[in-house]
Amino acid sequence: MRLCRFNSDQLGLLDGDQIADVSAALDTLPAHRWSAAFADPVIARLPKLMSTLESRAASAPRLALGAVTLEAPVARPSKIIGAPVNYHAHLDEAQQDRDLHQGRTVHPIDEIGCFLKAGSSLIGSGATIDLPAGMDRVDYEGEVAVIIGRPAKAVQAADALAYVAGFALALDMTVRGKQDRSMRKSCDGFSVLGPALVTPDAIADTAAIPFELQVNGAVRQSADTSLLIRSVPELIEMCSTFYTLHPGDVIMTGTPAGVGPVQPGDEIAVTSPDLGRLTLRVQ
Ligand code: MN
């Protein structure tokens, strides 16, 4: 299943270049003023909702993907987590390139753990972002993201995939500078997620998800998640040791080698045979 959110909190199932509008299923959700939980209400109920959504999709109104505004497939997650230098080839380039390391020692992920990005930086595929004023350099980082499906606290890696709702493509946009990561990676629009949350049953091999990043049609990054230094289950174990992961929480699993700066007018695309196509325009 490829679950997407579009046009101000409408719910759809992505099917090729069409969306089946299953928003009517949202009527079954409880109406809270202030939700008691951090959880994304759709993702938290996904195991129960999936059969309903699939049966509704058969007769649901169909919209052209190109005619809607996609939002991130997760609404307002409690945490967007990032994994720093989690591919060996990116570790090598980060250690060798002063523009990347900015004079800092690049520590392995096992030493420094993960970081957080502001929830307000989250946007969907197809959006346009403004480069923040006064920043020397902003880079793309193409990544695969994992989305948590149920509360996870002190989970062992061997059990971790049972806590996964699905996967999506992501861009972890990043200012290269002296600032702390939590500022450099949290500008408006700097967390792009989509086009849809793809459930594990729709992925050929969740331990080896291939993906590629193009800037204006030229390939700049190409990898698969079997090359991660810390795998998805290991990241869930690491993060859930420190804090509870809630349904809808996003872990961006890290970027491979080939990061580079963006310029106004650039069109960035991250593609995967399993996860679809995520785009971002920079102005
Ligand atoms: Mn990253």
Other beta carbons within 10 angstroms of residue 52's beta carbon come to: 14
Label residue 29 by pLDDT band (50, 70, 90). Answer: confident
Å from CA of 143 to ligand 1 middle: 7
What is the pLDDT, as a whole number, of residue 28?
84
Å from CA of 24 to ligand 1 middle: 36
Percent of the chain residues past pLDDT 90, beyond the cut: 87
What is the pLDDT, as a whole number, of residue 121?
98
pLDDT average, residue stretch 5-32: 93
Least confident of 98-102, 240-244, 261-265: 98-102
Å from CA of 141 to ligand 1 middle: 6
**Which residues 6+ apart lie within 8 Å of 68 measured at CB?**
6, 7, 10, 12, 19
Å from CA of 64 to ligand 1 middle: 31
Å from CA of 132 to ligand 1 middle: 18
Å from CA of 222 to ligand 1 middle: 14
What is the pLDDT, as a whole number, of residue 155?
98
Å from CA of 58 to ligand 1 middle: 37
Q: What is the pLDDT of residues 180-198, one digit of tens each?
A: 999 999 999 999 999 999 9
Closest by CA to 190, choosing from 177, 176, 172, 178, is 172
List of E strands, 37-102: 62-64, 70-71, 80-82
Name residue, tokens 């945490």.
79
Label residue 91 by pLDDT band (50, 70, 90). Answer: confident
The one-character DSSP state at 37 is: S
Cα(21)–Cα(16) distance, integer angstroms: 14
Q: Taking the model in full, what pTM does it have?
A: 0.96
The tokens describing 101, both together, are: 């390391």
Å from CA of 255 to ligand 1 middle: 5
Å from CA of 25 to ligand 1 middle: 34
